[in-house]
Amino acid sequence: MRWHRNGHELGFSLTNARGPGDCYSYDVTTGKLERWTASETAVKTDAFPQAELVRWKSFDGAEISGFLYKPPAKFTGKRPVLVVIHGGPEGQTQPTFLGRSNYYLKELGIALIYPNVRGSTGYGKTFSRLDNGFKREDTYKDIDALFDWIGTRPDLDAERIAVTGGSYGGHMTLAVSTFYSDRIRCSVDIVGMSNLVTFLEHTEAYRRDLRRVEYGDERDPKMRQFLEKIAPMNNIEKIKKPMFVIAGKNDPRVPVSESQQIADALKRQGTPVWLLIAKDEGHGYRKKANQDFQFYATVEFLREYLLK
């Protein structure tokens, strides 16, 4: 938001489920609201679902919240669910324009849930630190509690749940796929860390100390032992459901080795795994051709393992 130099007009941009972002001004003296831009969306968005704020209790009584987007009424019966976990972990999912993710809702009939598990920002410093160091597993349990909540909803199918996320959300996806494998149908890991120890050892040096504050210092023997114990890579036999692993070969944040090692291990033990590595990408795909390929492949993966 920016104030006009006249002191009574406020300029701001607004993004929501039905608009990718437009500019407005508001005159605080007259109450006049004026829209300045009209973004192109290529398709009509007036029927796109608005986000529903939902809350559930976790294992320790902490209240966790997130946003639910429901498919249109043409899809009857309990709907399959895709849980989308944000990265960071110092981040926060907000109601926003979903872009091509509306395809999951409008064409596939999949409900989307975007949780803000402990460690998310925007809920106070205490909440943002509830997943630090030896508390790492508590944030995994927040997703397990979400699965319980899904089971209480008459419109959602607790027998058909998929989990996805990128970066730290990818690590969460791997952890949930490991420790709660019996509660999901499949998962899509995007540039996720399969072992926080190897991640800390191989990420770019300029990021290492900052990440140690969050995940713990792998040079400390007790912390290293703990991180190795909970690493999805070291519990590979517990991952029993199909997984789609996506990475960029030139990723400076989460080295491609984090994705390659988990995919190779899953293949060796016979767990269905799809692997996509873009040779000309880094931490998340930026080129449209690659983004398109990733999206279409993800749609096919979900059709194969979530919707059948």
Quick one: which of 122, 21, 27, 19 has its CA closest to 66?
122
Instruction: Output the pLDDT for position 23.
Output: 96
CB-side neighbour CA atoms (13 Å) of 294: 23
Amino acid at 57: K
Q: pLDDT tens for residues 217-265?
A: 888 899 899 999 999 999 999 999 999 999 999 998 888 999 999 999 9
Q: Per the residue annotation, which of 58, 177, 251, 259 is the catalytic one?
A: 251
Average pLDDT of every residue of the chain: 94
| 255 and 203 Cβ atoms separated by less than 8 Å | yes
Q: pLDDT tens for residues 201-210?
A: 887 777 787 7
Q: Would you list the DSSP string of 30-87?
A: T--EEE------SS--TTSPPPEEEEEE-TTS-EEEEEEEPPPTTS-SSEEEEEEE-S
Q: Is the pLDDT confidence value at 36 over 90?
A: yes
Q: Per the residue annotation, which of 58, 167, 177, 187 is the catalytic one?
A: 167
Is 167 annotated as catalytic? Answer: yes
Q: pLDDT tens for residues 131-151?
A: 888 999 999 999 999 999 999
Q: Hey, is 237 helix, strand or coil?
A: helix
What sections of the chain are H helices per DSSP? 102-106, 125-128, 136-152, 168-179, 196-202, 205-215, 221-230, 256-269, 288-305
Confidence of residue 214 (pLDDT cuts 50, 70, 90): confident
Q: Is the pLDDT confidence value at 89 over 90?
A: no
Q: What are phi and psi of 86, to 5 degrees?
A: -75, 165
Quick one: which of 301, 112, 268, 100 has its CA closest to 190?
301
Is 251 annotated as catalytic? Answer: yes
Q: What's the CA gap between 278 and 238, in Å, rounded? A: 28
Q: Domains of the chain, with CATH numbers?
A: 1-42 (no CATH), 47-305 (3.40.50.1820)
What mean pLDDT comes out for the span 167-190?
96
Structure tokens at 28: 């605080």
Q: pLDDT tens for residues 55-71?
A: 999 999 999 999 999 99
Cβ contacts of 223 within 8 Å, gap of 6 or more: 133, 134, 216, 217
Q: CA 111, 66, 240 angle in degrees (round to 5)? A: 60
Instruction: Output the pLDDT for position 62.
Output: 95
What mean pLDDT comes out for the span 114-133?
93
